[in-house]
Structure 1
């Protein structure tokens, strides 16, 4: 029998917000300059949507500091370019309506510890809550909190794709901790048929450094690559159980001190070419929601992936690029060298245009995204509204990458693609006047299967 004053709900994973609570989530923010002051770029209509929510979230893939006074340096490792923007980006993000940002991604340490610290200081000064990076692993992985009129919101951020030296660690005895990111380490495997695996095993055993008597079971490690048996050739990813343990604890603790919790994962797996999430991600999203997450937001592959509703909570497998501004005036010399360019001859714009072609970001899908608006009533997700945006794929480089609401035909084409990508998850998206709508009610044909909690479409 529960006694008066006994803490009997400390482990509750239930949503606990006031009716009408709204969460807006978008994808990657690769910003190089402020955009809200430009009245010609069409961003104003989107800003009105962003400012309408209780919690507005995005993934910040840009360091923020004044390069003229910067005491750090570009690192030997980078996330694919050295992303940086001026201090004015902070107030610009605030003006847009963002109050929650993820910092755990492959660009966080482009400019080292000092670049990350400077970015955090800018965000702290303007009151934007950020998570995913810290002075050690405990700080990087911890939930951070936003106070809103309808409830306290927590954010837990981690990255499955990251530069090796950017991973944070905790102290061990006399060894101090290391600043960096909260990460989810993955073992990358290549799936091959059994007969192909046997051929690889014979090759490995023929090599001079083969270890006699060693049995690899269902896998073979050859030249640093791990191969294992699968029904068809492809890629598989195995999360590190230690990282999963830490992340689930951070989620559980975050929810104990909040009314609503967002978990966000930055991962490029299996690659930018894929419109489907990696094989580990669905089960991970389920575990996170079971532990207390009210929304799972994935980003990283630079294009949209499907949406799923699990136990009445949204899972966004990727929200693509929200701001994909590649007009940068500063770039590390290593990046020039990687593409055979010379900073004494070639401009940064020359380099970036060449790199974008080499990295195969030329498809329109990399310049199409959505603004997601999740509305909760009686602590249940009642409706998801999806506003399609386009980032000016046909514009010149100086104008490309800034989102604007897509015109009706283009919006419906984006939503049709998202319908197709979400169908595999049993999600039914209705298109109404160029806006996608997911209604999570019994009358809409979306319901939960009791045995698994997975949402299906009965239509």
Structure 2
């Protein structure tokens, strides 16, 4: 088979494969740091928070440092938008100084596709994009139409060009981007992956649901599927165990995989990220669809797949020598947001005329999000890891997992800011991650309070044999 022209540089032996995608093409020693959600409302590097400087040193040392920015950045005094009636569970907003502060921490890549991207409407999205652009932070996952939101964005590093493609499987329905159609313009929004949810029940449970369905008034159609019941907008089907199953929209998947292939063709290293809460923030297991979807992303050219959103750790898989993080938990949860929309006062049973914004935020943090009772009291939401992936000879050579905690029991002014942990707490975090990763065949060693996944380097002859 005739080969296409090869890229130049220290790794010029890398070739195009049969599909036209380019293999990993970074210089030896390339490192990717990936963390979870950045719920940050203020500048932290100037706060003198004990232990935070050690965290910053790790972030700054990598070639590419990624996190999910789950907030909006603007100055409310000059902001021209409004809090939206449809929002992601809370109105996340950050001071303008957060932009340069994230850059100072070492972040050069962020996802902005999540359920909070449109808490403050199109204006909030655009202000945040301007803040990220102004500070040289590459972001992906939102845009003025679906083509822009789904496109890969690029970071230039001394060890290779990095593509970032971000999507959200958890997003407010009205925030999904779309492309122009005829005379109708496109719609700004999020690069969304739509999921159809089925509730799995035992056969006897389904019969009970049929009884309720048949007792309710309304039209019936001939030939209705007897193996499912649609009741109250939810679809119930028979399963081995009660639970949830998700089917991704095939057209969304096709568009996303096409964008991954395109992004990889124009980069040396491609990162794909997904913000999703499924099956719920209570679950330490990924949704059933995500395993095959993550594999498809790697097959299409992704060099790393990073999931975030459930606010707690999920397992790690190494697939075809590339890391898949099914959930990296919280990295910063400095949720001192103000202002908040009037809708949150009503949701918390507060009087807008009497109670303060601080009361609403504090009440939410104390009681937990309505969709996730115990959010603020469960230690799992305040413990996570910093992942450091190092590549040699264009293969993942080592993955280090550095345990952190977010000061769960400190006052609100100091809570949610990460610091390193050691000894008993570090071991507990890593043992939990070992357990969550076992199902994927991933072996995590614990060495001096750090998790380590080592992969045997693959020689060029072995790589050649695998392509034949």
TM-score, normalized by length of structure 1? 0.94
Alignment of 1:1-400 (within 5 A): 2=2, 9=17, 11-356=20-365, 357-359=367-369, 360-361=374-375, 362-400=377-415
Name the CA shift for 1:146/1:187 in 2 (closer, same or farther; >3 Å): same
**Alpha-carbon distance between aligned partners in 2 of 1:50 and 1:130, rounded to the nearest angstrom:** 17
Question: For the residues of structure 2 that align with 1:293 and 1:213, how far apart are their CA atoms?
Answer: 46
Look up the SS of the partner of 1:370 in the other structure. Answer: strand
Q: 1:248 and 1:278 mapped to 2: Cα distance?
A: 19
Number of residue-to-residue matches in the alignment: 446
Query: Residue 392 of structure 1 aligns to a residue in which SS?
Result: coil
Task: Tell me the CA shift for residue 132 of structure 1.
Answer: 0.2
Distance 1:422 1:175, change over 3 A: same
Match in the other structure for 1:434: 449
TM-score for the superposition, normalised by structure 2: 0.92
Distance, in Å, in 1 between the alignment partners of 2:133 and 2:105 is 16
Q: Which deviates more from structure 2 when the two are superposed, residues 325-334 or residues 154-163?
A: 325-334
- The alpha carbon displacement at 1:121 in A equals 0.5
Say if 1:237 and 1:280, in contact at 8 Å, map to a contact too: yes
Q: Residue 273 and residue 4 in structure 1: after superposition, are their counterparts in 2 closer, same or farther (change >3 A)? A: closer
Q: Unaligned 5+ residue runs, structure 2?
A: 7-14
Deviation at 1:442, TM superposition (A): 7.4
TM-superposed deviation, 1:264 = 0.3
Give the Cα–Cα distance (whole angstroms) in 1 for the partners of residues 221 and 388 of structure 2.
58
Once residues 444 and 219 of structure 2 are traced to their aligned partners in structure 1, the CA distance between those partners, rounded to angstroms, is 53
Whether the 8 Å CA contact 2:22–2:268 is kept in 1: the answer is: no
Q: Given that residues 104 and 131 in structure 1 are in contact (C-alpha distance below 8 angstroms), is that contact kept between their aligned partners in structure 2?
A: yes
How well do the aligned residues superpose, as a CA RMSD in angstroms? 1.9
TM superposition shift of 1:342: 2.1
Which 4+ stretches in 1 moved above 3 angstroms?
A: 3-10
Aligned CA distance change for structure 1 residues 239 and 76 (closer, same or farther; 3 Å): same
C-alpha displacement at 1:3, in angstroms?
Answer: 7.8
Instruction: From 420, 427, 431, give the equivalent of 1:416.
Output: 431
Q: Deviations over 1:194-240 (max 9, x none)?
A: 23223323432343213231322532211101011100111111111
Q: Give distance in 1, aligned partners of 2:73 and 2:268.
A: 30
Counterpart contact for 1:204–1:210, Cα < 8 Å: no
Q: Which residue of the other structure, out of 414, 421, 433, is the alignment partner of 1:406? A: 421
Contact 2:298 2:304 in 1 (8 A): yes
Output the CA distance in 1 between the equivalents of 2:453 and 2:3.
42
Distance 1:428 1:3, change over 3 A: closer
